Structure 1
C-alpha cells in the first residue's frame, strides 16, 4: 500500500530568509504611518524602538522552539507540548487570527495601489484577484512558491533602498522633529499616551515574521537554516523599518503623510515631482512588497490550518496534502475564502468609525501578541520540564531575552486593549467560545471512539 503524500523538504536558509522578510515587508510600505497620526514622529519613533526590542528578543528566543520542535503548526505545537491541549488550541487559534486577518488588509492595499494606475479597476476586485492568484501559486508547490517569494522580497528591499537614496538629499531633522509629539506640546503624560496608542502600528513593521516556523517541516536542515533565516531576517527588518520611517518623516511635512495608505509614493512625489520615473518605479515595485507579504502569509496560514486539522482540532479534511504538489491545498483554499469574505465585510468588521484596514490590523495584532506571550511561556516551561530536549540552538542571554519578549508582549497587549477595548471584547469572546466548543467536541469524539472499542 502506497504511503499518503507528505510535505517536501526543499527549503534552504536563503529561501527561509526570503520568507521571513517577505512575510513582513509590506509593513514598510503602508499601515505604519497611522502611528504618526496617533503619536507624532517622535512618539512613534519611541513606540517603534520598544517594539523592535521586543521583536528582536522574541525572535532570538523563539528560534530555540522552532529548532527543537520543527513542526508545521509552529506556536501551536510548542504550546500544546508545554501547556497542554487547551493551551495549544488557544495559541493555534490566536495564530490563525493573526495570519487570517492580516492578508485582507494587505490585499486591500494592493487594490488601492492598482487603482491609482487603473482608476477603472475596483480595489476590492483587484484584492480578490490577488488572493486567487497567490492561493493558486501556493498550491502548485512550496519550492516554486518560496523561490517566487525570495525574488519579490529582494526586489522590494532594493526598492526601499532606492526610496531612501532618492529622498535623502531633502532630509532634515527639523522636518522630522516638527510637532514631533503630535498634539502634545512636549514629552509628558499626553505624549506617553500617544506612544502607547501607536504600538499596533509599530508592530505592523514586524508582524508575522514568526511564520517561518510553519515552514520548518519543509526545510532541508531546520536546525541550521532556521536560526540563520530568523536572525538575519529580524535584523534586516529592523534596519528597513527605521530607515523608511526616518527618511520619509524628514523629507518634508510629515503631517501630510500621517493618514495615507501610500506614504512612500507621496513622500517621493514632493521630492522628485509628479511625473518622475523614480515615482513610477516606486509605485510599481511597491507592489512587490505587498505581494511578498500576501503570498508569504497565505503560505503561513495554510500550514497553521493544516497542523490544527492534523491534530483533529479543525476538521480532518483540511489536513489533506495534494497528491501531486505535496502542499496543504484544502487548508490554503479555506483560509483564502475567509480572507476574501473579510475584504467585503466593511459593515460587519468596521467598529466605531475605524477603517476596515485599521480593524484588520488590530485584530491581527491581538492574535500575534497572544501567541508571542504563549510561546515565551512555553519556552520557560519546556526549559524546566524537558531539560534533555535536543536544542541545537539555545536562546542567548537566557532567561533575560525571553523575559524581555514576554514583558514587551504583555505591555503591548494591555496598551492595544486600552485603546481598542470593544475589539478586544470581540476577540477574546470569540477565542473563548471557539476554544470551549473545540474542547467539548474533542472530548466527545474520544468518548465516542472509546464506546465503539468497548462494544467491539
Structure 2
C-alpha cells in the first residue's frame, strides 16, 4: 500500500519510486508524441475519400468528440492522481474486477499501438532506402524503443520536444507552400472542405469515425500521474491541450492538402497521400524531410505507447492483480523495466503480422477504456463525491454523457472481426483474473486510498511501503 503525504516534505520510502520530473510542457509533448502529429497522413487518403473531399470538417467533428472524453480523463486524473490511467479510474469507480478488465482491454490497445509504429517505420524507411528490408527496420525500431522505455521519461522528454518541434515546422512549411503553390487559391476553396458537401452530414460523420483513431494516445498522459511534478493540475491540462493542439494541427494540414490537391481524385495513391502532397507542395526536398521527421516521430510515438502500457502493467502488478515481479522498478532509472521488456518481447509479433491486422487489434481496447472513463467520471464525481450544482452537472454529468455517446457512435465503425477479437481477449483476461485472485488468496489491494480523491492538490511524492 502506498500513501499520499499530507505535508510538503517527501515521505520516507523503502524502495525506488517513479521519478517526478514532468511539468506541463513535457506532458503536452508526450501526448502529442503519443498521437503522432504527422499521423494525419496515415488516414488522409481514406478520410478524404469517405468524406468526399471534406476531411477538415471530419477532423473538426472528431476533435469535438475526443475533447469530451479528454475532459473525463482530466477530471479523473485530478481526483485519482495515480499511474494506470483508465485501469485506476475504473477500479476506483466500479471495483477491482471491472478495473482489471478495463486495464486488460487497454493492454490490447497499448500492446499493438507500438507495433503499428514499428510497421510504419519499416514501410517509410524502406521507401526512403529500398535496400533495407522492412522487417529489419521493424526489428531495429523495436530494439531502440525498448532501450528508450527503460531509460525513462527524464531523457525521453527532450527527444519529444525535438520531434514535436520538427513536426510542427514540417506542417507549417507544408501549409505555407500549399498556399503559395495552390492551383486555385480562393476563399471558396479554403472554406469548402470545412463545410458539408452534397452528401450532407453522413459522409463527414463516417469519415470522422475513421480519423478519430488519429487521436489515440492522448490518454497515455494519464498514465504519467506519478511522474508529474503536479499531477492534479498538470495532467488534466496536458490531456486537454495535447488533444486540442493535435486536432487543430490535423485540421490545418487537411485544409492545406485540399488546397494543393483541390480534386482529391487526382491523388495517384491515396494510401501514400502524405508523401504525394508534400512533393506537390515543396518538391522532393520537403518530401524527404517529411519522411525523416516522420521516422523520428514513429520511434518516439512507439516509445510513448510502450511507456504507457508498461505503466499500466506496473500498476496492475503493484496491486497484485498481475505477478508482483512486473512492479519492479529499475534502481537507476526508476522505470518499470520488467514490464517494459515484457512489452518489447510481445512486440516481436510485429515481425509476423500486417499493418491492417495490428490496427484491428487497437480499436477495441481504446474504445472500451474511453467509454468506461466517461462512466467512471459520472460515478466517482457526480454520485460518490456529490460534485453537483450548475458547474458540477455540466462537468461531471452532461459532458461525460456526451463523451460516452460519442464513443458509442464510434463503436459503429468497427469491423466484426474487432468485436470477435475483443470478446476473446476479455474472456482470456477474466480467466486470468479469477486464477490470479485464487493464487494470492483473496482480494487484491488497489493503489489508492481516500486521500487520492480529495480535493486539495498533491504536494508531496507518493511512497511505497514494504
Q: C-alpha deviations, 1:319-349, integer Å up to 9, x for none?
A: 21111111111111111222221x2233xxx
Distance 1:304 1:395 in 2: 30
Matched, 1:313 2:310: no
Q: 2:456 matched to which residue of 1?
A: none
Match of 1:284 among 281, 289, 292: 292
Question: Structure 1 residues 248-257 or 310-319, which shifts more?
Answer: 248-257
Q: Residue 254 and residue 136 in structure 1: after superposition, are their counterparts in 2 closer, same or farther (change >3 A)?
A: same
Instruction: Indicate the residue corresponding to 2:351 in structure 1.
Output: 344
Question: Post-superposition shift, 1:199?
Answer: 4.4
TM-aligned CA deviation for residue 102 of structure 1? 1.6
d(CA) in 2 for partners of 1:365 and 1:257? 28
With over 3 angstroms needed to count, the CA separation of the structure-2 counterparts of 1:254 and 1:232, relative to structure 1, is same
Q: Superposition pairs for residues 216-255 of structure 1, below 5 Å? A: 216-252=225-261, 253-255=263-265
Answering whether residue 34 of structure 2 is matched by residue 27 of structure 1, we say: no
Distance in 2 (CA, whole Å) between partners of 1:4 and 1:81 is: 25
* Structure 1 equivalent of residue 221 of structure 2: 212
Deviations 1:334-374 (A, max 9, x none): 11222221x2233xxxxxxxxx3233223312211111110
After TM superposition, give the deviation of residue 249 of structure 1 in Å.
2.8
Q: CA deviation at 1:261?
A: 4.7
CA contact (8 A) 1:11 1:220 kept: yes
Counterparts of residues 70-149 of structure 1 (less than 5 Å): 70-149=81-160
Deviates more, 1:28-37 or 1:82-91: 28-37
Separation in 2, partners of 1:311, 1:448:
12
SS at match of 1:204: helix
Name the SS of the counterpart of 2:161 in structure 1.
helix
After superposition, the C-alpha distances for 1:113-172 in whole angstroms (9 at most, x for unaligned) are: 211221110112112211211210221232012222222122212212211111122445
2:65 to 45, 51, 54: 54
1:425 is aligned to 2:417: no
Alpha-carbon distance in structure 2 between the residues aligned to 1:313 and 1:57: 30
Conservation of the 8 A alpha-carbon contact between 2:163 and 2:293? no
| Of 389, 407, 413, the match for 1:416 | 413
Which deviates more, 120-129 or 200-209? Answer: 200-209
For the structure 1 residues 175 and 402, does the alpha-carbon distance in structure 2 shift closer, same or farther, using more than 3 Å as the test? closer
User: Counterpart in 2 of 1:66?
Assistant: 77
Normalised by the size of structure 1, how large is the TM-score? 0.85
Q: Distance in 1 between matches of 2:269 and 2:208?
A: 16
Partner of 2:138: helix, strand, or coil? helix
Q: Is the 8 A contact 2:110 2:309 kept in 1?
A: yes
Is contact 1:58-1:405 (8 Å) kept? yes
Cα deviation for residue 196 of structure 1 reads 5.4
2:334 partner SS: coil
Aligned pair count reads: 423
- Give CA deviations for 1:171-204 in whole Å, capped at 9, x if unaligned: 45659969x99xxx9416xx83x55554453122
The equivalent of 2:276 in structure 1 is 266
What secondary structure is seen at the aligned counterpart in 2 of 1:322? Answer: coil
Query: What SS does structure 1 have at the residue aligned with 2:107?
Result: helix
* Aligned-partner Cα distance in 1 for 2:35–2:341: 22
Tell me: CA distance 1:313–1:31, structure 2 relative to 1, closer, same or farther (3 Å).
farther
1:88 Cα deviation after fit: 0.3
TM-aligned CA distance change 1:449 to 1:268, over 3 Å: closer
Identify which range, 97-106 or 46-55, moves more after superposition: 46-55
Name stretches of at least 5 consecutive residues in structure 2 with no aligned partner.
1-11, 445-466
Task: Specify whether residues 62 and 259 from structure 1 end up closer, same or farther in structure 2 by C-alpha distance, changes over 3 A only.
Answer: farther
Deviation of 1:297 (Å)? 1.1
Instruction: Give the structure-2-normalised TM-score.
Output: 0.83
Contact 1:33–1:258 (Cα < 8 Å) also in 2: no
Give the match for residue 454 of structure 1: none
State the match for 1:326 in structure 2.
334
Match of 2:455 in 1: none
Equivalence for 1:168: 179
2-structure distance, mates of 1:359, 1:400: 36
